Amino acid sequence: MKQQSRLGTIPGISYVQKTARNRGWPYVVAWLHRITGLMLVLYVFLHILTLSGLSDPVGFEQKMQWFQKLIPLFFDWFLAIPVIFHSLNGGRLILYELFGNRLDQPVLRGVMVGSGLYLLMLAVIMIMGDQSVSPFLFWVYFFLASILCGYLVTLRLKRSGATLLWKMQRVSGTFLFLMVPAHMLFMHLDPVIGRDAQLILTRLQSPFIKLVDLLLVVSVLYHGGYGVIGVCRDYLSFRGAQLALLVLITTLFFGFGLIGVKLLFLV
Amino acid sequence: MITTYQITLKIHRYDPALQKHWTQEYQVEAGRIMRFVDVLRKINDEQDPTLAWGSSCEHGQCGTCSMKINGKPLLSCELLVENAVDFFNTTTFEIEPLEVAPRIRDLIIDTEKAYERVDRVKPYVIDPAPADHDDVEENQISPEDLERYVDATRCINCFCCSSACISSHRTFLGPNAMLAAVVRVMDPREREKQQRLDVLYNENGVYRCHSSKACSFVCPKEIDVAHFIALAKEGL
């Protein structure tokens, strides 16, 4: 028999290795996609609730002081792990399902390497903490690129006989593929950007930034809501339970959507 | 060279009369090229005739002997003891039935219940297209057409894919049922496509597939099941 590696004796790692041996690495990655998706849904809820504090700029800035401490700052960086992994792996799934890419193994490696590089870059930017960029140019570039990606996927989906809701999940995912990592990057170019209530409120006066943020909120909540419903439907076989879940999740996501939209239009 | 292995089988058992579930351990001296079906038969012959398990062709063609060994769904007629020791890096094997249908006894599941899901896609030609030449009665398939889906026709409905799938078995019809639907949609001899498309794009159809590709990974017939389901998502 083969000698087991030291790494394989650690319970969690040994479980993952066994799962990969029995079901393949894409199966493990599919679970990671689910877990990171759920983490991001919680993150988005928290993010919207935090930003809703902008109605009281002084209180908001006081709260934000806490995020300047080292441990919260580390968690801020740590949250980029689910963001970038979910985005890149989502891109991989779109390539596999809709663009006929069957060279999935190299793309999967690319997801891992790409995620690592993004996290490294973000860490460096966070440490430097004094980068500046024109918000308008930054968002014009990423917004147009995301719209283009979404359009390409829409074209590919024309032949599919799937429902409109399913197609919208794919299109919203493609739109977010660049937008969410870009949003995270933008917010960390200069830490002041995210903590200065007056700066945020001024930026939100721009109709273009409003449009970008509105599409971000709507896409994130639709994509997340549909994803959560999809995962739950795998396990709930009773029609009544499925319906109750649908009402519950739709109400919850719609509620957070309203908070987000209200925030954008009341400033 | 090792010619025999002392192996331990931990078999998940179930007695329907007593409604009792338990795990029973068997120590077996097994030859290196014995298959797991041979090992189970040896247990029946030498240790415990009450252990129930199923098999039919024992040549990897019928799918009756599928079970989970150390968590991996596979055909027990295809797995040699030597290969199992090498693959799982152990001489202890936990054996369970596939969880895709209710259990009847020990390692035997109600395959009729499992097949109900495949039957929903009507895995046969409903409305055959007329012969394309006057001098032949059969409808011929061009090699190019056949090439697109011939791999999918090798499915033996062993339900290993269904067992490995990330989506649970509660709502998803299963990768093998999807495969059967895709084959009939791609088959030029079939004129009735809509009934299969209705099942494919049903709540229990492709929407339950999350492209975890475990189906392709475990398929004993080496069919890239996930590829065919992805084709259905893209639009056949």
Asked if B197 reaches chain A (Cβ–Cβ under 8 Å), the answer is yes
pLDDT of the residue at A54: 83
Which is nearest to B164 in space by CA: A93, A28, A97?
A28
Most B-contacting residue of A27, A36, A98 (CB-CB within 10 A), to test interface? A27
**Considering chain B, what percentage of its residues have pLDDT values greater than 90?**
89
DSSP symbols for A185-235: HHHHHSHHHHH-HHHHHHHTTSHHHHHHHHHHHHHHHHHHHHHHHHHHHHH
Residues B11-21 pLDDT 10s: 999 999 999 99
Q: Which residues contact B67 (CB under 8 A, 6 or more apart)?
A: B53, B73, B74, B76, B95, B96, B97, B98, B107
Task: Name every chain A residue with its beta carbon within 8 A of the beta carbon of B217.
Answer: 23-24, 26-27
Q: Cβ contact (<8 Å) for B214 and A26?
A: yes
Distant-in-sequence, close-in-space partners of A42: CB < 8 Å, separation ≥ 6:
none
CA distance B84 to chain A (A): 11
In this structure, what token pair is assigned to residue B134? 């006057």
Contact B176, B155 (CB under 8 A): yes
Put simply, whether the predicted model's pTM sits higher than 0.90 gets the answer: yes
Q: What is the pLDDT of residue A248?
A: 95
Which domains are seen in chain B, by residue range?
4-109 (3.10.20.30), 111-233 (1.10.1060.10)
Are A252 and A228 within 8 A, CB to CB? no
- Is A162 in contact with B233 (Cβ distance < 8 A)? yes
Average of per-residue pLDDT across B11-38: 97
Q: DSSP character for B203?
A: T
Give me the pLDDT at residue A39, please.
96
Tokens representing residue A119 in the block? 């996290």
By Cβ distance, the residue of B197, B208, B236 closest to A234 is B208
Measure CB to CB from residue A235 to each of B170, B218, B235 and give the nearest one.
B170
Exposed/middle/buried for residue A20 (C-beta within 10 Å: 0-12, 13-18, 19+) = middle
Cβ pair B16, B3 in contact under 8 A? no
DSSP B181-195: HHHHHH-TTB---HH
pLDDT tens, position by position, for chain A (267 residues)?
666 666 667 778 999 999 999 999 999 999 999 999 999 999 999 999 988 888 888 888 888 877 777 788 888 899 999 999 999 999 999 999 999 999 999 999 999 999 999 999 999 998 888 888 888 899 999 999 999 999 999 999 999 999 999 999 999 999 999 999 999 999 888 777 777 888 888 888 899 999 999 999 999 999 999 999 999 999 998 889 999 999 999 999 999 999 999 988 876
Cβ separation B91–A1 shorter than 8 A: yes
SS3 A158: coil
Torsion sign (Cα): B96, B97, B98, B103: negative
Flag whether residue B164 sits within 8 Å of chain A, measured between CB atoms: yes
Tell me, yes or no, if B218 comes closer than 8 A to chain A by beta carbon: yes
Residue in B closest to A164 by C-alpha: B201
Report helix, strand or coil for A92: helix
Instruction: Tell me how far apart the alpha carbons of residues A225 and A219 are, in angstroms, rounded to a whole number.
Output: 10
How many contacts (CB atoms, under 8 Å) link A and B? 107
Between the alpha carbon of residue A23 and those of residues A5, A247, B101, B171, B186, the distances in Å are 20, 34, 20, 20, 28
Nearest-by-Cβ selection for A27 from B89, B91, B217: B217
Inter-chain residue contact A26 with B217, CB threshold 8 Å: yes
ipTM value: 0.94
Q: Say if residue B114's pLDDT is above 70.
A: yes
| DSSP-based three-state secondary structure for B78 | coil
**Which chain B residue's Cα is nearest to A92?**
B211
Q: Which two tokens stand for residue B125?
A: 């030609």
